[in-house]
Amino acid sequence: MDTVWVDELDGETAESVRALLRAARDTDGRPELPEQGLPGEFRGGSHLLATADGELVGCAHLDATGDAFGRQVAELIVHPRRRRGGAGTAMVRELVDRTGDRLRVWAHGDHPGAVRLAEHAGFTRARELLVLRVADAGGADWPEPSPPPGVRLRPFVPGQDEQALVEVNARAFDWHPEQGRMTVADLRATEGQDWFDPAGFFLAEDTGGKLLGFHWTKIHPANPNRFDGRPAGEVYVVGVDPGAQGGGLGRALTLAGLRYLRERGLGQVILYVEGDNAPAVAVYRRLGFTEYEVDVQYER
């Protein structure tokens, strides 16, 4: 087996990586793939490619810029037909040699193979990202949102709201390893994705037009190996400026998005929440969400 680091994928290699990710998705339900190209978590950075007999058997992506706390973060996938053959171990070794001890590696769905690999390589669980779900959104009791006095909800306007949104996002998520780093360029790039819909992007502002918070929803197409093979709406990001927290604005924004997704005909709604964020988990459970799966970051 051979491994090589590549900073920029040519067209043919990118297609090989996409084919590997598709095979993993068809077996595991993850990762999600856009209609063209690679998922966002596999763009930029550096790629570690593992080949055997001329075939791509594994790929790791390293975000060398690191998260908000300076830790380098990797995604690692081995082709389902080539698992338990040493490719994962070889790639983890290469990742450690390149990064040292400031490394975290995602295990989406906490796959049993990833658990074994992490233990063998001396990694420990450092972060749990819960995936919660309401399986029957049509039967959920979600009342009309009631924003605080003097606050109105409206849709996001592309070309107008980016800067204010990014500023509120940075304050709301200054503690978060990834979300708080979003830039205007990042937001505009996402607006070009096929799933982006400003009608499902709710902003809360006061009478003076000051942005106080937002709820960004997302719609996932049906995945035969995940979420019962049905399309799913997602509570993608809910952010409230720290100065506006505590008055029920977060709940109002959440309800606005949940009702929007239900009106769009989505029979189920999912969300991701940090496992140690007990207050947020409690709020979502009261809205009918239950645990579906967990994503884990392992670290040295």
Residue 243 assigned to a binding site: no
Residue 263 assigned to a binding site: no
Following DSSP, what letter does each residue of 77-126 receive, concatenated?
Answer: EE-GGGTTSSHHHHHHHHHHHHHTTSEEEEEGGG-HHHHHHHHHTT-EEE
Which domains are present in the chain?
Answer: 2-122 (3.40.630.30), 133-294 (3.40.630.30)
Residue 234 assigned to a binding site: yes
Residue 238 assigned to a binding site: yes
DSSP state of 298: E
Q: What is the pLDDT of residue 65?
A: 80
Burial (0-12, 13-18, 19+ Cβ within 10 Å), 110: middle
Separation of alpha carbons 237 and 218, rounded Å: 9
Return per-residue pLDDT of the chain as tens, 300 residues. 899 999 999 999 999 999 999 999 999 999 988 888 888 888 888 999 999 999 999 999 999 788 888 889 999 999 999 998 899 999 999 999 999 878 999 999 888 889 999 999 999 999 999 999 999 999 999 999 999 999 999 999 999 999 999 999 999 999 999 999 999 999 999 999 889 999 999 999 999 999 999 999 999 999 888 999 999 999 999 999 999 998 999 999 999 999 999 999 999 999 999 999 998 999 999 999 999 999 999 998
Amino acid at 228: D
**Prediction pTM value:** 0.89
Residue 35 assigned to a binding site: yes
Residue 77 assigned to a binding site: yes
Residue 76 assigned to a binding site: yes
Residue 178 assigned to a binding site: yes
Amino acid at 270: I
Residue 245 assigned to a binding site: yes
The pLDDT tens digits of the residues spanning 183-233 come to 999 999 999 988 999 999 999 999 999 999 999 999 999 988 899 999 999
Residue 239 assigned to a binding site: yes
